[in-house]
């Protein structure tokens, strides 16, 4: 599932390819991904406008159209963006054919036939329109963005909320943007067992967890959220049955925490 680093990568991709071009059409190929807006209204609101800027908060990407309205994109489990000149070019190489055609749910058509497709194979993503981003975030009850929360806020969240530390990191109403994969990576870097209760975390552990969160998210963004580009010292390339800890070479273990499959090293991340 796309997490904060993935969505930040999508934001930068959109900024580099799709800003300041006049929108001449909106091709809704599957209205299932539309939330609180019809295909007709989406086209009416965007046609003739230009995407002028973008803003990310947690796992949501907002794109402002001519200072009038914001397009909201949430990528669900399999969503991503693809920019291309036309359908024929998007289908090359062959591996791109399915994503440019069969799984493109909404295509924004710009002048000179450039296009931006919202691809989403499993269709858990969402596209909508928002008048005020801050009001939307408040209404949804989303917490501060994981890259914008400061140390005092971070400590306050861990102090006030009880439960396994991984569950707290995953709670979007407390901290927005961290998902399953990067929560595991953050806790591995901080040498904290994911099932550790927040009430048992000492000040020293919290002091390690905060910079670990910043480091992992920023490094993942630098790697364009690509598992093949992240450091070899990370868990990500080794997640799965038979995977070995990059520190001690012992076998990784898995457990279900907060309803999510969690990978960790029981030797390097001892449970309190």
Active-site residue list: 2-3, 59, 260
* 69: β partners: 65
Helical segments of 29-148, H only: 39-46, 87-90, 97-100, 133-140
CB hemisphere CA count around 264 (13 angstroms): 27
Supply angle C-alpha 262, 266, 268, rounded to 5: 110
Strands 104-110 and 23-28: antiparallel
* Contact between residue 198 and residue 213 where contact means Cβ atoms under 8 Å apart: no
Classified as helix, coil or strand, 69 is strand
CB hemisphere CA count around 60 (13 angstroms): 23
């Amino acid at each position: 599932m796309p997490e904060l680093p993935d969505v930040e990568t999508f934001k930068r991709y959109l900024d580099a390819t799709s800003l300041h071009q006049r929108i001449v059409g909106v091709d809704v190929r599957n209205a299932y991904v539309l939330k609180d807006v019809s295909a007709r209204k989406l086209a009416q609101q965007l046609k003739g406008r230009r995407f002028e800027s973008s803003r990310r908060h947690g796992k949501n990407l907002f794109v402002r159209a001519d200072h009038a309205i914001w397009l909201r994109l949430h990528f669900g489990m399999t969503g991503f963006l693809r920019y291309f000149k036309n359908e024929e070019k998007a289908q090359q190489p062959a591996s791109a054919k399915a994503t440019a055609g069969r799984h493109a749910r909404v295509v924004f058509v710009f002048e000179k036939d450039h296009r931006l497709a919202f691809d989403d194979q499993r269709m858990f993503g969402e596209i909508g329109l928002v008048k005020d981003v801050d009001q939307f975030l408040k209404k949804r009850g989303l917490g501060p963005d994981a890259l914008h929360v400061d140390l005092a806020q971070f400590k306050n969240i861990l102090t006030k909320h009880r439960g396994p530390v991984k569950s707290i990191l995953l709670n979007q109403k407390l901290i927005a943007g961290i998902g399953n994969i990067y929560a595991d990576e953050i806790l591995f870097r901080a040498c904290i067992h994911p099932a550790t209760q927040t009430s048992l975390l000492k000040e020293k552990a919290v002091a390690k967890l905060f910079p670990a969160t910043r480091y992992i998210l920023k490094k993942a963004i630098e790697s364009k959220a690509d598992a093949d580009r992240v450091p070899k010292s990370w868990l990500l390339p080794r997640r799965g049955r038979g995977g070995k800890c990059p520190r001690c070479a012992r076998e990784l273990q898995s457990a279900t925490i907060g309803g999510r499959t969690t990978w960790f090293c029981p030797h390097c991340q001892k449970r309190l």
